[in-house]
Amino acid sequence: MSQLTLHEFASINCKLKDISDTWSDLWVLLHILPVGIGRVVSLRYGNLIGDSLVVEANGRFEEKILSVPAVVRHIVQRRRDKYPHDVYVFQSHSNRVKFQQRPVTVIAFNQALKIASKGVTDKVVSSKSARW
C-alpha cells in the first residue's frame, strides 16, 4: 500500500466532508490518534476526560490513555454540540439503527472513502491510509 501525499490526504478529506462531516472527522482522528479504526469508531463522549482520551480495552487490545491535542478535543466538542443526544462520537444516524445508539460501521466508512478517493489517487485507499 503506497503512502498518501499530504495533498491526496487533504483532497480526500475535502471530498469526505462533502459526503458527511462524520466521515471527514473520522478521517482526521484516524490520522492523529495512534489506534485502529475499530477503536476510534467505538469512542464515547465519556472517554474524553480533560486532555486525556481513554481508549477502552477491546478484544486483544488493552486500555490506553492518550494525551490528545487540541484539534481532537475541538472535533469531539463540535460533534457533541451538533449531536447532543449521541453516546458515541461517531454515532450512526442511518435508518437501519434509527432508534438504537450504535457507532458507524467500518464498512460504511470504507465505502465513503472509496468514493472520496476516486479521481484523487490511483492508490488503494482504506482507513489505514490515514496513518503516515
> Is the predicted pLDDT of residue 95 greater than 80, yes or no?
no
Closest CA to 27 of 13, 14, 39: 13
Decide the pairing of beta strands 48-49 and 52-55. antiparallel
> Is the predicted pLDDT of residue 90 greater than 90, yes or no?
yes
Query: H helices within 36-125, ranges in order?
Result: 37-41, 70-82, 106-117
Looking at 42-46, 78-82, 92-96, which range is the least confident one?
A: 92-96
Q: How much is the pLDDT for 94?
A: 83
pTM of the model as a whole: 0.91
Q: Note whether 35 and 62 are within 8 A (CB).
A: no
Place of cell 487540541: 70
What is the torsion angle, in degrees rounded to the nearest 10, for the CA atoms of residue 66, residue 51, residue 37 and residue 33? Answer: -70
Mean of pLDDT values over 12-24? 97
How many residues are given for the chain? 132
Q: Note whether 65 and 50 are within 8 A (CB).
A: no
